[in-house]
Amino acid sequence: MLDLLGRNWWLILLRGAAAVLFGLAALLLPEITLVTLVILFGVYVLIDGVFSLAAALREKGRRTDWWVVLVEGLVGLVIGGAVLGWPGITALVLIYLAAGWAVATGILELVAAVSLRKEIRGEWFLVLSGLASLAIGVVLFLQPEAGMVAVSWLIGVYAVVFGLLLIVLSFRLRARIQDLESGGERSP
């Protein structure tokens, strides 16, 4: 798993940056229309799915655990495609799609963190992002009637926190891989 994520640290960085940008837009523009939020969310999830797929496919023949990132990417593509395919969907459906994606992503990130626990110090960043994903998913499932401004802020905060955690993780992975490639034996 360290190889899979470490060699693709820049994809994790891009995922984090996309999440932060999406989150800031949701926080700074809470009054945007439902259709705009739907499209923004769909594009973000689709981009996140593409980055996950790219990372997984680069490692397909090299690692046995590449499928975790592949499944995460496929979930992102399906949810993002569904959102963009039906931009006039209701706020309730959007909330449930976002909740389902967040729960699935959270579970898969926790699986990846378990695989990393013996290979890298700081895997707790992935655990935190997985727990954040699960928490937002559960909140959205339990409170679907929340107003769009509140949902926009909730999704925005989640996306910024998730993105920042991925950015930190990407730099830690890059440093670990560079250390291993230079022959260093720094502890994980």
Q: What is the pLDDT along the chain (188 residues), one digit of tens a residue?
A: 677 777 788 888 998 999 999 899 888 887 665 567 778 888 999 999 999 999 889 888 887 788 888 999 999 999 999 888 887 665 577 778 888 999 999 998 899 888 877 777 777 888 898 999 999 888 888 877 655 667 778 888 989 999 999 999 999 988 888 888 887 655 55
Cβ atoms 48, 18 nearer than 8 A: yes
Rounding to the nearest 10 degrees, give the CA dihedral for residues 188, 177, 167, 124: -20
Q: Which of 97, 149, 99, 106 is nearest to 131 (CA)?
A: 106
For the beta carbon of residue 177, count every other beta carbon within 10 angstroms: 18
d(CA 52, CA 69): 6
Q: Check: pTM over 0.75? Answer yes or no.
A: no
Q: Domain 2-181: which topology?
A: 1.25.40
Spatial CB neighbours of 77, under 8 Å, sequence gap ≥ 6: 46, 49, 50, 53
